[in-house]
Amino acid sequence: MAKIADGGEVMNWITVVGLEIHAQMATQTKMFCACRREAGAEANLHICPVCVGWPGALPVLQSEAVRCAIRAALCLGCEIQELSRFDRKNYFYPDLPKGYQISQFYKPYALGGGIPFIRDDQSAATLPLVRIHMEEDAGKSSHESDGTSRIDLNRCSSPLLEIVTEPMMMSSTEAASCVRSVRNLLRWVDVCDGDMEKGNLRCDVNVSVMPEGAKEYGTRTELKNLNSFVSIERSIVVESARQIELLAAGGTIRQETRLWDQDKEITESMRGKEDSPDYRYFPEPDLPAISISNAEIQTQRESLPEMPEVRELRWLEEYKFQEREIVPLMARRANGDFLESMVSEGVAPTDASNWFRGEILRYLNERSEKIESFPVSTKSMARLILATKEDLFSVGRAKSLLQEALEAESSLDHLIDQAGSQVQDEGELAGWVDQVLSENPEAVTKIQAGDEKPMGFLMGQVMRLSSGQAHPRKVQELIKDRLAN
């Protein structure tokens, strides 16, 4: 245990953090039945005899959940166990209709691995994992003001992953960075939606402190109810300060579970170790052992998308992207996928990046939408960008076409077709230009005297004369050419 330094000497304390991250797997069906897994559906819509624990109904492991779990273990570098098993975690709660949760306690499917994260000093580090196990979720209880409690079993038996890390010396921001890293990786491989505010990623944090140089970790407390990155970060700061103050005053830390109150910024004791529930784990007799073959692992490995670090390196080396432009493109895998899709349609990577970070991201940010709901296809985007390269119209014109398509929700392809049919024939253009020049001698004189201002006016006149059919850049060149001679 920590000793208190003599003579009021200021002592440096080190915070040690361990994480238990619960991630809802983004599967189509639940874990042990074929019911749909859908958040926000009408209460008790997606239920069946199996997930409500109907007498006589038996769980049947859905392979989709296992595939999903394998992907999670692969992207976190775990050792996937050839044989693992389910156990029952027994406790009574109204939203747990069987009276037990099917989980993995004695033999989890994945051991080891680690979470890559960035230290506060920008160095790369890895938080080692103890294990990942699969388990089914419980339902949801809601309590109304009149004392009525309602139970919604839609979530019951949805597949969860519990990712348990080793304890490690780290700051609160580093702890949050670890959770963010897990979230990004799980999202990247389509395992979890990763929205903490929606509860599909939850996290408990174990915190202890020790004096600098100490050999053993201090007694830990477990913090629950952390439903945002801010709460993870702040609760660790507050809890470690509480522990340091207690220890510095000669007190001891009680091993307990504490609840984080985000509004008051305090942690409050929920229950001590001696009151912790006895879950009476024992092997689930209704399910055979899970056997995960090397072939299955290989199949999942091959189906994984290009991982972020690989993509980043390739973009830096092949596409010559700048570090800074990579950040928004890497934020979500779908962003990069959209970009890659434009590239595969023939767009130069730099152009694809510029358009994505400019026009596309602006549109998405204004509406808080994701790239998946961007209304223009990568094919149309590529056509638009390539058209500017082929000089069918200017970049500025292209941007306004995109704007028009997005605002009017009209077809960009149609707008490109229209714009692309602009007259480029030199003879026809020259006819319009010459007519405008002869009708506007004052403007011509001004320009010839060095005043460029009337240029826009002349352009406008030509466009009007051609009913918008004239190719603007060609017109501009033609006017300049005429006036120079």
Partner 1 sequence: MSEDRNLQLPPQSATCLEVLDHLAAGKCSAEQLLTSYLDYLETTGRELGAAVEVFRESALDAARESDARRKNGDRVGLLEGIPFTAKMNISTIEGTTDASSSILEGFKSGADATVVSRLKNQGAILAGKSNCDEFAMGASNETSVHGVVKNPWSHDRVPGGSSGGAAALAGSHGWAFHLGSDTGGSIRQPAAFCGATGLKPTWGRVSRRGLIAFGSSLDQIGPLARDAADVRRVLEVIEGADELDATSVACERDTAESVASDPVRRIGLVSEGLSEGVDEDIRERIRESAKRLGSAGYEVVEVSLQTLARANACYQVIATAEASSNLARYDGVHIGQRVPAENLDQLYCGSRSSGFGEEVRRRILLGTFVLSSGYIDAYYGRAQQVRAEIRQEILTVLEDVDALMMPVSPFAPFCIGERVSDPLALYACDILTVTANLAGVPAIAVPCGSDETGLPMGMQWMGRHGEDQRLLQLAESWQSLDDSWRKLPTGVK
106 interacts with partner 1 by CB under 8 A: no
Which is closer to partner 1, CB of 213 or CB of 285?
285
287 interacts with partner 1 by CB under 8 A: yes
48 interacts with partner 1 by CB under 8 A: no
For partner 1, the binding residue among 11, 26, 43, 57 (CB under 8 A) is 57
Q: Which amino acid is at 53?
A: G
Per-residue buried b or exposed e for 158-168, using 16+ beta carbons within 10 Å of the residue's own CB = bbbbbbbbebb
275 interacts with partner 1 by CB under 8 A: no
Q: Could you tell me which residues come within 8 angstroms of residue 15 by beta carbon, excluding any fewer than 6 positions away?
A: 169, 170, 171, 172, 207, 208, 209, 236, 240
358 interacts with partner 1 by CB under 8 A: no
For partner 1, the binding residue among 286, 309, 428, 477 (CB under 8 A) is 286
30 interacts with partner 1 by CB under 8 A: no
Give yes or no for a contact between 241 and 33, defined as CB atoms under 8 angstroms apart. Answer: no
Which is closer to partner 1, CB of 151 or CB of 164?
151
Q: How many CB atoms lie within 10 A of CB 412?
A: 21
59 interacts with partner 1 by CB under 8 A: yes
88 interacts with partner 1 by CB under 8 A: yes
Which is closer to partner 1, CB of 251 or CB of 288?
288
For partner 1, the binding residue among 7, 40, 55, 427 (CB under 8 A) is 55
**Shortest spacing between CB 5 and partner 1, in angstroms:** 39
254 interacts with partner 1 by CB under 8 A: no
Nearest to 172 by CA among 213, 207, 203: 207
Restricting to residues 227-246, which ones interact with partner 1 according to CB under 8 A? none
Token pair listed for 128:
């080692």
456 interacts with partner 1 by CB under 8 A: no
Which is closer to partner 1, CB of 13 or CB of 105?
105
For partner 1, the binding residue among 151, 348, 430, 483 (CB under 8 A) is 151
Q: How many CB atoms lie within 10 A of CB 26?
A: 16
Per-residue buried b or exposed e for 437-468, using 16+ beta carbons within 10 Å of the residue's own CB = beebeebbebbeeeeeebbeebbebbbebbee
Q: Which amino acid is at 462?
A: V
Please state, in angstroms and rounded to a whole number, the distance separating the CA atoms of residues 203 and 217: 21
Long-range contacts of 124-129 (CB under 8 A, 24+ apart): 125/174, 127/19, 127/165, 127/166, 127/168, 127/170, 127/178, 128/165, 128/166, 128/168, 129/76, 129/78, 129/163, 129/164, 129/165, 129/166
Please state, in angstroms and rounded to a whole number, the distance separating the CA atoms of residues 91 and 125: 38
Give yes or no for a contact between 387 and 393, defined as CB atoms under 8 angstroms apart. Answer: yes
For partner 1, the binding residue among 6, 216, 275, 278 (CB under 8 A) is 278
Q: How many CB atoms lie within 10 A of CB 180?
A: 17
Which is closer to partner 1, CB of 52 or CB of 259?
52
Give yes or no for a contact between 70 and 296, defined as CB atoms under 8 angstroms apart. Answer: yes
302 interacts with partner 1 by CB under 8 A: no
Which is closer to partner 1, CB of 56 or CB of 441?
56
98 interacts with partner 1 by CB under 8 A: yes
92 interacts with partner 1 by CB under 8 A: yes
214 interacts with partner 1 by CB under 8 A: no
**Shortest spacing between CB 100 and partner 1, in angstroms:** 5
**Shortest spacing between CB 282 and partner 1, in angstroms:** 6
Give yes or no for a contact between 19 and 204, defined as CB atoms under 8 angstroms apart. Answer: yes
> Residue holding tokens 């006036």?
483
For partner 1, the binding residue among 49, 128, 431, 468 (CB under 8 A) is 49
How many residues bind partner 1 (CB under 8 A)? The answer is: 28
289 interacts with partner 1 by CB under 8 A: no
Residues engaged in binding partner 1 (CB under 8 A)? 49, 52-61, 88, 90, 92, 94, 97-100, 151, 278, 280-282, 285-288
